[in-house]
A and B are shown apart, each in its own frame.
Chain A
Amino acid sequence: MPDSPIAVEHHNPELRHHFADMEQQREASSLGMWLFLATEVMFFGGMFCAYLIYRYWYFPDFAAASKSLDITLGTVNTAVLICSSLTVVLAVRAAQLGKRHEQVVYLALTLVLGLAFLGIKGIEWTSKFREHHIPGASFHFEGAVPGHPDHPIDQQHAQIFFSLYFAMTGMHALHMVIGVGIFSYLLYHAWKGRYTPEYHTPLENSGLYWHFVDIIWIYLFPLLYLIDRKK
């Protein structure tokens, strides 16, 4: 069946045939992304729930174990992620305004910051590994309850803290690795000039994903690193 020449003329090549126009296509895919993020909220929510219950039960042991995490690296990593969220916002904005060069620069910066976060996380995990803080047969945690030096902490309870620490930061890091993959793909296509003010949905939805991963870290940081630092 031959296409009507009028219809072909005004079609954006990125418009899929089952959508009426670009606006409807954009809103549909944005809604889909938010629904996906809602499932992610519940996925991380389960781990946060387990964390809160154990923290309530074994608070002194959690406080002592939390103190062994490197607060400087944790704070720096929070700042790195926040900066990467800004570069994502600026990349999306550059696409909205049709500035290809800026888009590429901000996407590249996002990738660098994402990899920096993973590198710092790697340094932290390596030192935990050296200190035998990885849950398992060789787990060992030296320490006393904060404020009570003669009160040693329970090994099993400390192990639960580190199990949750590695599960939660591990799942978060996995999301970051996936994010770095997605943003490499975006960088390539932005370089090719695929994202225009009319069509940049992949950039926008990947941005939503990146910000979501940032929000998870915004909660992980105080919950894991800052339980009880004052003593």
Chain B
Amino acid sequence: MSEHIVPLKTNIAVWLTLMVLTGVTAGVAFIDLGPFNTVVALVIATCKALLVVLIFMHAKYASERLIKVVVVSALFFLLLLLGLSLADYTTRLLV
């Protein structure tokens, strides 16, 4: 299996989407959504990160399965770090 060459159109479309999402996230920050401002900002950031990882970093086209394992495990351990730490610190006052 040789490496995948992403079409120019796809790259430009991803770039445009990333630029638009950047504008949207900055604009939405000024609209009062209560606690959902943070949620929206993080969802948009995660969409952007996914586009970069899957298309720009070619993770979607990787023929080597081990690479996908590395990506998923990095994400898993990051969520473990953040999730368990926050589960502790955010519930201390509830006891």
Q: Which A residues are within 8 Å of any B CB, using their own CB?
A: 23, 26-27, 30-31, 34-35, 37-38, 41-42, 45-46, 48-49, 52-53, 56-57, 71, 74-75, 78-79, 82-83, 85-86, 88-90, 93, 96-97, 207-208, 211-212, 214-215, 218-219, 221-223, 225-231
Interfacial chain B residues near A31, Cβ < 8 Å: 64, 66-67, 70
Q: Are A45 and B6 in contact (CB under 8 A)?
A: no
How many B residues are at the interface, by size bracket? Answer: 35 or more
Q: Are B18 and A38 in contact (CB under 8 A)?
A: no
Q: Are A46 and B73 in contact (CB under 8 A)?
A: no
Cβ-based interface call for B78 (8 A): yes
Interfacial chain B residues near A23, Cβ < 8 Å: 1-2
Q: Are A30 and B67 in contact (CB under 8 A)?
A: yes
Q: Are A230 and B56 in contact (CB under 8 A)?
A: no
Q: Are A208 and B57 in contact (CB under 8 A)?
A: yes
Q: B32 → chain A, closest Cβ, in Å? A: 4
How many A-B contacts if CB must be within 8 Å? 132
Q: Are B70 and A34 in contact (CB under 8 A)?
A: yes
Q: Chain B interface mostly helix, strand, loop or mixed? A: helix
Q: Closest residue to A77 on the B side, CB-wise?
A: B22
Q: For the complex, give the distance between the alpha carbons of A79 and B48 in Å.
A: 12
Q: Closest residue to A38 on the B side, CB-wise?
A: B74
Interfacial chain B residues near A42, Cβ < 8 Å: 74, 77-78, 81
Interfacial chain A residues near B29, Cβ < 8 Å: 71, 222, 225-226, 229-230
Q: Are B78 and A93 in contact (CB under 8 A)?
A: no
Q: For the complex, give the distance between the alpha carbons of A208 and B22 in Å.
A: 21
Q: B25 → chain A, closest Cβ, in Å? A: 6
Q: For the complex, give the distance between the alpha carbons of A3 and B5 in Å.
A: 35
Interfacial chain A residues near B48, Cβ < 8 Å: 215, 218
Interfacial chain A residues near B66, Cβ < 8 Å: 31
Q: Are B11 and A89 in contact (CB under 8 A)?
A: yes
A-B contact pairs, 19 of them (CB 8 A): A23-B1, A23-B2, A31-B66, A38-B77, A49-B81, A74-B26, A79-B19, A83-B15, A89-B56, A93-B5, A93-B6, A207-B56, A215-B48, A218-B52, A221-B45, A222-B42, A226-B26, A229-B29, A230-B33
Q: Closest residue to B17 on the A side, CB-wise?
A: A82
Interfacial chain B residues near A56, Cβ < 8 Å: 86, 89-90
Interfacial chain B residues near A27, Cβ < 8 Å: 63-64
Interfacial chain A residues near B85, Cβ < 8 Å: 49, 52-53
